[in-house]
Amino acid sequence: MLVASLSVAALVVVLLCSVVRPFRWPEAVFAVPAAAVVVAIGAIPPEDAWEEAERLGPVIGFLAAVLVLAKLCDDEGLFHACGTWMARWAHRRPRRLLGSVFALASAITAVLSLDATVVLLTPVVFATAARMGVEAKPHVYAGVHLSNTASLLLPVSNLTNLLAFTASGLTFTRFALLMLLPWLAAIAVEYVVFRRFFAADLAAPAVGRDRAEPPEVPLFALLTVAGTLAGFAVASAVGVDPAWAAAAGAAVMAVRALARRDTTPLAIVRAASLPFLAFVLALGIVVRAVVDNGLGDALGRVVPDGVSLLSLLGIAALAAVLANLINNLPAVLALVPLAAPSGPGAVLAVLLGVNIGPNLAYAGSLATLLWRRIAHHHGHEVEVKEFTLLGLITVPAAILASTLALWVSLRVVGT
């Protein structure tokens, strides 16, 4: 009992510190010692901790490669071009700007992961809204919602997807085919709600100057991203870890940038966000300790069996609740092993909950917390009441629609 309590306490400390970030220290400063503590007290044997590290190793390597790829694409001007395209397409109409944000945020999240949307696209959206002279709130909120919701499509779109991908037993292509319909359904719900929720802001006329210069398309970056995405599918089909395709894409961009002296080796290492990678690894070990000391048994008694529509809805709802209680990364680590025996459909239902659910509360995902800090840096104060109300409207509807779509996909596409 004492070991279980200490394990839970370690997890609570790690999650609280990741939210508050005392002294602005990296999350790893608290997570790594917590992982060492749970091993030292016997909550998780050293061999199990090593096993967890080996399991998470490819995921962490993949995440590092995608972070580097996204940063180098930003350096090439890809996200600046996105902002210019949004302004041209919107042509001083806020509703069209919202549509362009939805399109770009969904595509960027799916291909370059939700971190790219939060970190790189959010400042572009702020700048575009300011240039057009429109209220930034609907468009910035759309970015953070889609960084979660639109991360359903590919195994590479979210760290939660990567953690569940291996357990699902699916190929890269099969995963994408099964999640395509749920992805579209969830985004459609979000768009309809946003149009109604922010109707007044979207109806206000633009007061800024509309510069319609054509965007300079960074062709090399676009081709590299397209080649990397194709590499994911090919690697999965031949049994090679997709991390190698991500590493190849990042290497191509890095070699070009270094040759042109557009970056430095130190900048590339920083782009990989090593402290965050250490945090993910340490968090996995702490969560494993909590799961092995009682949480797994407790969740095992409430996780629905099978892949009927009601079972899928129950799994997705449970995952959403757990994500908002303990963050979506611990939630997926705890639930995927319990859902896996019911088949790939149950694992994908977990992802619906842990990816859409965080739109309800700040602590639901690290991406949302990071977005809040970026919004504050741009002078935009996020209102808790408004953020939560928007989440209460979108999250249940999006989970219901996407789960129904998943149920249909499982019967049409198959596993």
Residue 152 contacts residue 357 (beta carbons within 8 Å) = no
Asked if pLDDT for residue 87 goes beyond 60, the answer is yes
Of all residues in the chain, what percent carry a pLDDT higher than 70?
A: 98
User: Which residue, 47, 24, 27, is CA-closest to 285?
Assistant: 47
Q: How confident is the model at residue 32 (pLDDT cuts 50, 70, 90)?
A: very high
Q: How confident is the model at residue 212 (pLDDT cuts 50, 70, 90)?
A: low
Cβ contacts of 126 within 8 Å, gap of 6 or more: 136, 140, 378, 380
Residue 125 contacts residue 140 (beta carbons within 8 Å) = yes
Amino acid at residue number 290: V
Residue 44 contacts residue 316 (beta carbons within 8 Å) = no
Q: How confident is the model at residue 209 (pLDDT cuts 50, 70, 90)?
A: low
The pLDDT tens digits for 243-263 are 888 899 999 999 999 999 999
What confidence score (pLDDT) does residue 241 get? 81
Asked if pLDDT for residue 308 goes beyond 70, the answer is yes
Q: Most confidently modeled of 124-133, 161-170, 244-253?
A: 244-253
Per domain, the residue ranges of the chain are: 1-42+280-290
Cβ contacts of 102 within 8 Å, gap of 6 or more: 142, 146, 187, 190, 191, 194
Cβ contacts of 350 within 8 Å, gap of 6 or more: 164, 315, 316, 319, 332, 335, 336, 339
What confidence score (pLDDT) does residue 91 get? 79
Asked if pLDDT for residue 409 goes beyond 80, the answer is yes
To which residue do tokens 């996020």 refer? Answer: 382
Q: What value does the mean pLDDT take over residues 38-67?
A: 89
What confidence score (pLDDT) does residue 119 get? 80
What confidence score (pLDDT) does residue 215 get? 65
The pLDDT tens digits for 169-191 are 898 889 999 999 999 999 999 99
Q: What is the rounded (10 degree) CA torsion for 325, 326, 332, 338?
A: -70
Cα(332)–Cα(327) distance, rounded to whole angstroms?
9
Please calculate the CA angle 316-106-215 and round it to the nearest 5 degrees: 170
158: left (phi over 0), alpha (psi -120 to 50) or beta: beta
Give pTM, 2 decimals. 0.85
Q: How confident is the model at residue 314 (pLDDT cuts 50, 70, 90)?
A: very high
Q: What is the DSSP string of 180-194?
A: HHHHHHHHHHHHHHH
Asked if pLDDT for residue 210 goes beyond 60, the answer is no
Cβ contacts of 96 within 8 Å, gap of 6 or more: 89, 90
Q: What value does the mean pLDDT take over residues 312-326?
A: 93
The pLDDT tens digits for 387-397 are 899 999 999 99
Q: What is the DSSP string of 60-109?
A: HHHHHHHHHHHHHHHHTTHHHHHHHHHHHHHTT-HHHHHHHHHHHHHHHH
Cα(237)–Cα(232) distance, rounded to whole angstroms?
9
Tokens describing residue 253: 């961009």
Cα(216)–Cα(292) distance, rounded to whole angstroms?
53
